[in-house]
Structure 1
């Protein structure tokens, strides 16, 4: 466990900020796209790790939504 004690505090702060931003963005985007049905799930999962939740969200929610509406980008 000594390895975790050697990690500088600024790195912990950066990790926390990335997870908080990712979770917040996933929650807000899911609430906007899906009428809030699964927003809490995406937001909480986004707080647990990076980048897996955002990649899965892209593949499961955003791309099918774009294919359905016919948007290019």
Structure 2
């Protein structure tokens, strides 16, 4: 059988606790930041607790970088 697959009983409890804490911290931070920016906080927060680090990276590209872009200039002609 493939040695790369583990059952839940084979993983030490401390690792499961650390992973759960990491996911909760990530999801909470993304939720709070999205709420501050007004960008679908529940969607981002729930997605943030599903995996690491993909939701954080996608959130950074879609929300954080988009907010850092300078506003588009309009022509000064009136």
Corresponding residue number in structure 1 for 2:15: 11
Q: CA deviation at 1:3?
A: 3.2
Once superposed, what is the RMSD of the aligned Cα atoms? 1.6
The answer on 1:55 being equivalent to 2:54 is no
Q: How far apart, CA to CA, are the structure 2 residues paired with 1:56 and 1:27?
A: 14
The 1:3/1:42 distance shift into structure 2, 3 A limit, reads same
Q: CA deviation at 1:57?
A: 0.3
Computing the radius of gyration from Cα coordinates, the structure with the larger value is 2
Q: CA deviation at 1:62?
A: 0.2
Structure 1 gaps of 5+ residues are: none
Corresponding residue number in structure 1 for 2:69: 67
TM-score by length of 1: 0.83
The answer on 1:43 being equivalent to 2:73 is no
1:7-44 deviations in Å (ceiling 9; x for gaps): 1000000000000000000000000012xx40000000
Q: Partner of 1:60: helix, strand, or coil?
A: helix
